[in-house]
Structures are given as C-alpha cells and as structure tokens.
Structure 1
C-alpha cells in the first residue's frame, strides 16, 4: 500500500473516531433524558398499581360482604338414598323426605342447621309420595308396594295400613280434607278414601286414563276432583256425587303437575315439554291459555302467590313465572341435576327442592312480595333474557348487580 493512501486511511480513521465520540456524546444526552422520563413513568406505574390495588380491594370487599351475609335460609341436606318426594309440615318447621327404599325422614329446619328428628321405615319398596294432613297430625305415604300408610306425626307410630290398596304401583296421594284423601297409580286408576269408614275399603274408584296419574287436586268447594296423567289428558270427576264428568283430548305431552291460582279460579298444569296450560275453573274440556317456556320437562310446580308459580325442571333450574300478565321473572335457584320435587313451607318464607343428586336445597323467596304487582304497561320484553335472569335467591347473581354493588360502595 502506498504511503499517501495509508495517510488518507489514517485521516479517515481519525474522522471516524471523532464521529464515534460525537455520537457517544449525543447518546449520553439522550440517556439523560430517558432517565428523567423513566422516573416519571415509574411514578405513573406506581400510581396505577395503587389504583389497581384499590380496585382489587373493593372487589375483595364485595366478595367478603357477600360471604359474610347472614344466612337467610336453611343449609342444604344431602341424603344417602335417592329422594322420591318431600312435603313441608303445615304448622311446624319440619320437612318430610321420602326415599327409594321406602323410608320417610323428618327434619327440623332452621337458618342455622337441620336436625333429623326421626326416620320412619314404612314401605317395602320405593315410597313414591308423602303428604301431611291439613292439621299436621297424620303423615300419609304411598309406595310401589301398592300400600298406603298413615303415621302419627308426634309419636311416629303407624295409625292405619292399607295393604294392596291398588292393583299397580301407587304414584301419588292427595289429602282433600280432614276425612277424604285420593290416590292414583301407574295404570291410570284413581281411588277415593274416607277415614270415617272402618276397614280399608275405598269409597270410589275409576280408571279413565291410560298412563300414570301424576297429580290430584281439588279446591275449597270440593265439587270437582282433577287428575293429570302421563297420557297427556286432564280428567275431571264429580267429587260430591262420585262420578266421572269429562276428559280433555290427549295433548302431545305428559301432564306432570297441577296448581291453583287467582283465588282458585284458575288451574295450571305443567307438561313434559316445558309448557304451562291454564284452565278456567269448571271449564276443564280445553285450556284457556298456554304459556311456552324452556323446552325441558316441568316435573313439579308450586304456587307462591295468586299470580306467581315456581316450576322445577329437568335441566336443574327452578324458574318463577308471573301469570297475569304473563312474564318470566327469572331463576329462583339451581341444582346440578334434574329437579323432581318442590314445595313451600307453612309461612311461605322458604321453598325446598330435591334433585337426582339426593340433595334438598332451601330457597328464601320473601322477595316475591315485591313482584306481586307487575304493570300491564310494561315495555316489550325479551323471553331469553327473562329466563336467564337470576333472582335474589339464586346461587348466582347477575353481573350488573355485582358491579352496581361495587359502585355503591366506592
């Protein structure tokens, strides 16, 4: 390499060194500015963290508030055997629970605890239905062993035993008054019994249905006896003269349960396809209205007020429906498995429901007093939204309720 070229390269190297020095100085200036911004950012991050912690504290507080609320209903019951039915005592804080092995367990309930007060070993096979007399002194039970048992509530001793009361497994029992009670079986036969009659002979029997009798009901006048059936028909009997009156045409679904509303002027029937059929009292040939609901079997229903019914469904959900005008109010409670039975306690404060998980859950429904009057001038409603609405007794709250609670406590 020639000396002149080498000198030129050395000169270029020197210039490059100066450029590097200048760039380094320039970078140093930039670093200094970045440090200042970093401090500001750090302070901003700390402020955001403080805000996040405050928000998190509010969430934790809201959760704690929910967890620390005083229990307003009895704790759940979990039984060893499959539950077949349940019934509240009309005066005492006691619930009777029948099971698949033929026993009936009596539990005293309170918000703090449930206490087993006795187990009645009554039937050889599954005890299908259980119900108290109107004064609460007698416990009626029926079974697939075709027997009817009447037990003394106080002493838990057997008072009367109807052996081979039906020719088929008995599906339900209904106490009509202080003397009369009715039973239905899996073959569609109903029988009427009078406690004043000595012996164990029925005073009337009839077979007008081709499938199991799911429910039996009358009103205070005791003029008509209504029976719902798995064959999809509603059958009416003249209770006073003890004779058959009429039968509806068979619906395309099973009629599963019955209830009275509007001061016993309306009869409501649940169906296996989730519908509610409404009949005018004394006009039982055809329904006057039909309310569609979720497409799942309604296994049981209970009147809460003159206008509100709670249905127990196969999808494990208890739903409340306002009948006049017709509105779905929302979800009362949830089970993990299909719900078979529901009943209301003596003072109307609780309902209890049982599922295939062998559990009994209690729900405080006092808030329904505020739902009694639903304005006829309501806005257009969305059925889907109403069906998914969680009411105060539900295990789950609505998201909007939770966040409004946060806002109100900030």
Structure 2
C-alpha cells in the first residue's frame, strides 16, 4: 500500500511517520558516506566480499570497477536532519544549493560542500504542506506549490516573493514542473492540469485529464508534449502547443508514481506502486514497449543518472541502481531506515540527495556511475550470483542479496 501524503497538513506533522513499518533488513545499517568509516564487522564483511569476488571466474569489468571504487573514500556533504517532515527536495541548477520543502509550508535553503551543510535561508511561504519545489533553468526563480492551493514564485537571491496565485486550483495542487523562467505546469489532486505564464493572472489552459491525483509530469527539450502520470493508473500526454490531450494509455493495475527520460529523451521510464517499471517510446504513450520488476515495494521516486542508469527508491528506504539498456541490476546506492519520499541530482552530477520519513536528507556520491555505464556489455548475460556481492561504493548494507530479495 502506498502511503499518501496529500492529506498531510500542520496538524499531522507530529505523527506523520508513526504508522510506518521499518524494513528489518536495513534498520541497523548506516551508510559509509554517513558514518565516515566502517566498524570491524563491516570491514570483515567487505573482506569476505572481496575474497568472494576474487574467486569468481570470468569477472567482468563492471565488477572490477565497483571493487576499485570501494577502496576510495566517498566524498559527500553531511546529512541534514530537520525538525519537520520533508515532502520534496530540489538542487539548484548551477550552485551548491539545495531546497527542502516541508510539511508546515516552509522552504529551507542549504549550501553544501564536502565538509558541511549550512542553512542560508528559511522561507515561510505556504500555510499548509509544501508539496513541490522547483528552480527555473537559470536558478533565479524558485517555484513552489502546496496543499493550500497556492503557487508562488520567489527570487532565490533575495528571498522576496515575485508572484503568487492564491486558489490556483479548486483542489490541492500535487505536482509542479518549470518550463522556463515564466512558464510552469501544475497538476492537482483530482486530475486537473494547468499551464501558467507567471506574467498573466489566468492560466493559458486548464484540462481535466482524470479523476485521481497527478503524481508526476515530464516533458523533453522540445516541450511539445507534456506527459502526466496519475494515481488512476493512466498515462496521459498533452499537446502543449495545441492545448489539448494528445493520447491516453491503457489503465494499469496500480498507481503510476514517477517518470524519467533516457537515451537522449527517446525512452520514457515510468514507476508504479507495485514495484514495476514500464518503458515507453517517446510519443508512443498509449502502451509500454517493455516492463521490468524493479522491487517488491512501491517505487515512489526515480532519478536518471546517465543515459542508461536509473536510481529509484520508495517504501523500503533503499536506493537501487539499475542499467536499463540492457536491463541489469547494479546494486544498492544507499539506504534510509524509513521510506524515501524524493530524489534529485546535483547540477554537476556528483551527488544525489534523498529525503525520508525520518525527516532527514542524505547525500550520496555517485560520480562512479559514469565509468560503470560505459562498461556494460549489451551482449553480456547478467550473473546474479556475482551481482549479489556488488553493493555499490556509497552503500555498506551487510547483506547485498537483500537487493534482489523481491525480484522475480
């Protein structure tokens, strides 16, 4: 069952994670990047893993790369621990700044480096849970939306409000994406999508595309089509130029929760609440071309790392990496003790950040993916016995086979 935070407001912030179950396989695991080192037991496990790898015949280049990276220190910013539940996170597009949107309607801006994370501004923007935060491409404007139905545009440098649309939707707004410094798209709890020009008081268009919440929206560089994933299990694309629905997919068995673009924006990957990935060709949104089992729990969020590699996470708190072309599980990037709500990647591709129901934000150094990506042999058959040893460098989960425990 997917936990729904659309109903959260200030009154529920104190017990927002009281009913959440912890995954017994990862409760006691802390990441190497979090602790800064290993204890004796972890060191012993790593030695055993290295010996097992050495005993494997025909060791491939990906395994060698992972082994080599494990011997290097993982440089990354320290974690951020917050007082309130973090609903969404967003990296600045060209500065070492990350924005955190919380359940009481505030946005916290942090500067980060390998030594510290420093709070530089707290913006009290919304009266209810701030559900989405996005920067424009230049990083000058920060857009936010919330359960209070308001849309706000804030100057990042000064923290001053530039534009505000109160009651922008009849229902609480669930998702927002930025098209440029002036245009944004919003989707609400009841399937309505609106395109806005921040210089005008009224939306350019408003379309009712479903009856359930808009979980995610995505477009490519051309910005001709906007693809919307919904809680009703439908994938709907909108012709932004023509202000009309382009296609609607078949209805899937579960909620469609998140999306990412790959292969020079020619492939669209969609995650679901039953742990499946669906792969679509761009512009062919009616029916998926392939599907994969990603995990046994709900996939709540994903982030493309390279043209071929995705990191996803969700209810079990584990960040998993997979190569999609060909489909191959790579290992565990990192972990939280409670479900992960959002992921994002830094402007330089050095880190991903994840926020969980523990009210924390963790950083993971993922620069090594660039070298691993180029080593995947499309003709090489995956050896799961080997790959069960291949926890990625940013993680120290003791039993790497946990990664594959729910994969059919």
TM range (shorter): 0.7 to 0.9
- Alignment correspondent of 1:162: 165
Distance 1:269 1:353 in 2: 19
- Alignment correspondent of 1:396: 397
- Alignment correspondent of 1:381: 383
For 1:7-406, what aligned pairs fall within 5 Å after superposition? 72-197=75-200, 200-373=201-374, 374-382=376-384, 386=387, 389-396=390-397
- Cα deviation for residue 102 of structure 1 reads 0.2
SS in 2 for 1:294: coil
Q: Is the 8 A contact 1:71 1:111 kept in 2?
A: no
Q: Is the 8 A contact 1:391 1:397 kept in 2?
A: no
- Cα deviation for residue 69 of structure 1 reads 7.3
- Cα deviation for residue 396 of structure 1 reads 3.4
After superposing on structure 2, the runs of 4+ consecutive aligned residues of structure 1 that deviate more than 2 Å are: 68-71, 379-382, 384-389, 395-400
Moved more, 89-98 or 389-398: 389-398
Aligned positions, number: 338
- Cα deviation for residue 327 of structure 1 reads 0.3
Q: Is the 8 A contact 2:74 2:393 kept in 1?
A: no
Higher relative contact order (CA 8 A, sep 6+): 2
Max Rg structure: 1
The structure with the greater share of residues assigned to helix is 1
SS in 2 for 1:371: helix
Distance 1:399 1:137 in 2: 42
Distance 1:385 1:355, change over 3 A: farther
Q: Is the 8 A contact 2:257 2:270 kept in 1?
A: yes
Q: Is the 8 A contact 2:391 2:400 kept in 1?
A: no
Q: Could you say what the CA RMSD is over the residues aligned between the two structures, in angstroms? A: 2.4
- Cα deviation for residue 261 of structure 1 reads 0.5
| CA offset digits 1:40-70 (Å, max 9, x no partner) | xxxxxxxxxxxxxxx99x97xx9xxx9x975
TM-score normalised by structure 1 residue count:
0.78
- Structure 1 stretches of 5 or more lacking a match? 1-54, 401-410
SS in 2 for 1:370: helix
TM-score normalised by structure 2 residue count:
0.79
Distance 2:247 2:280 in 1: 14
Distance 2:388 2:142 in 1: 36
Q: Is the 8 A contact 1:389 1:398 kept in 2?
A: no
